[in-house]
Structure 1
Amino acid sequence: MNFDGEDLSHKALADRLPADEPHVFRECDLTETDLRGAALAGARFESCVLDQTDFRKCDLDGAAFTGGGGMRARFNDADLIDVTFTDVDLSSAQFGGSLLTDVSFTGCRMIGAALTGSRGTGFSVTRSNLTLANLGGCSLRGRHIEGVRFDDADLAGCDFTEAVFSDCRLIGTRLLQTKFAKADLRGADLGQPDDTKLRAFTGAIINQTQANAILAARGITVL
């Protein structure tokens, strides 16, 4: 079923969508639309307004979100396997309890998004802004993380073991019990790590410039 440029805001759509066919939404307004429990596997959302859209408990396996915005959208307890989000504003979106397996976020604005409590094998993130986001307990183990801002994000309990950071920022992040064993942080701006962060970086790889800055902040000069 195709929807083009339709105003579907503030409607309950779950019962109107056949479960046996893919759905395409192009430039639709789905503000505060109730899609709870809808069968949306393989669905396409192209340049849609998804602010506060309710995707809770949806089957979104294989879905693709391109452009548009989903500020404060709710994906709690939804199935998201092989889902792609490209150039989507997901600020303050909620993913708690969702199944995230091979999900990719590319070029997304995810300020204040909450992914803590999600399940599955994890996700990848590239060229995205996760300032103030909560990723507590998430796994990005072995991922190549490129062009991501984690400023003031909560990364407590996250697993970045063997991850590679390129052109990233980790300024003001909360790193309580965060794992960076064998992670390559040479491409990350670490700011001025305090002792808690330095403990989190145990086993990580940093470059000489980063090491000098850390020591200089403690009054130690390397000649």
Structure 2
Amino acid sequence: MIKQGEHTDLENASLISVDCSNQDLAAVNWKRVNAVDCQFRSSDLSGSVFTHCKMTNTGFEAAEGCDVKFDLCNLANSNWRGASLSGSSFTECKLTGANFSEARLLGASFQHCILREVFLRNASFRKQTLEGLDFEGADLDGADFRNAIFDDCSLRSASLRLAKFSGADLRGCDLGQIQLSDAGILKGAIVSKSQATDLLGGLGISVL
């Protein structure tokens, strides 16, 4: 069991359906921990490092997670509602279906992650270089991508109402079947010739 105030590193542990809410777990190194269906509500995870952990269906609501590192973790269907994740990083993580509603993400970063069907409304990616991010089917309404650079990313079937793309370089992004009638959200963005051709094709115009 994890006891409040103990900062012991955890490795090869199993914490299935354990309630770790309201605990001081700052600066703990988690390695190959199986924490499926656990709860970390309002716990302090600041400065912790999670590597090769499986934490699917786990709740991090209102957790203090500043400067936390998640590397090679499966965090599918995790709930981060109201969590503070400033300065935290997610690298090569699976976050399918994760909920970041009302989470504070100032300075947080995602690299080479699966973010399918994730809830990231109003998140700011402004001026970031986004590498290997799969946002297919994600809810990105109101997200700020201004001056961001997309490299090997996908926005296929993502919800992008009121998202901002001015100055964004989308040439390295799969935009899917965006119709020209919806292309206004891309105002000010940089797209490739092939992407522009696809957009015009949605209006029945052929580019020869």
Which TM-score tier does this pair reach, normalised by the shorter chain?
Answer: over 0.9
Name the amino acid aligned to 2:196: A
Question: How many pairs are equivalent?
Answer: 208
Contact 1:60–1:80 (8 Å) recurs in 2 = yes
- Greater strand content: 1
What are structure 1's unaligned runs of at least 5 residues?
Answer: 1-7
The equivalent position to 1:136 in structure 2, one of 110, 117, 121, is 121
The equivalent position to 1:78 in structure 2, one of 56, 59, 63, is 63
Shift of 1:127: 1.0
Contact 1:175–1:196 (8 Å) recurs in 2 = no
**Taking structure 1 as reference, are residues 93 and 156 closer, same or farther at Cα in structure 2, changes over 3 Å only?**
same
Distance in 2 (CA, whole Å) between partners of 1:122 and 1:88 is: 20
| Matched residue SS, 1:61 | coil
Distance in 2 (CA, whole Å) between partners of 1:187 and 1:103 is: 24
Q: Is 1:17 matched with 2:4?
A: yes
Contact 2:37–2:56 (8 Å) recurs in 1 = yes
**Taking structure 1 as reference, are residues 120 and 170 closer, same or farther at Cα in structure 2, changes over 3 Å only?**
closer
Counterpart for residue 97 of structure 1: 82
Contact 2:58–2:78 (8 Å) recurs in 1 = yes
What are structure 2's unaligned runs of at least 5 residues?
Answer: none
Contact 1:116–1:138 (8 Å) recurs in 2 = no
Percent of pairs with identical residues: 33
Shift of 1:194: 2.5
Q: Normalization by structure 2: what TM-score?
A: 0.95
**Taking structure 1 as reference, are residues 52 and 197 closer, same or farther at Cα in structure 2, changes over 3 Å only?**
farther
Counterpart for residue 4 of structure 1: none
Counterpart for residue 53 of structure 1: 38
Q: Normalization by structure 1: what TM-score?
A: 0.89
Name the amino acid aligned to 1:153: A
Q: Is 1:117 matched with 2:106?
A: no
**Taking structure 1 as reference, are residues 63 and 202 closer, same or farther at Cα in structure 2, changes over 3 Å only?**
same
RMSD: 1.4
**Taking structure 1 as reference, are residues 178 and 196 closer, same or farther at Cα in structure 2, changes over 3 Å only?**
farther
Distance in 2 (CA, whole Å) between partners of 1:38 and 1:197 is: 46
Q: Is 1:217 matched with 2:208?
A: no
- Runs of 4+ aligned residues of structure 1 deviating over 3 Å after TM superposition are none
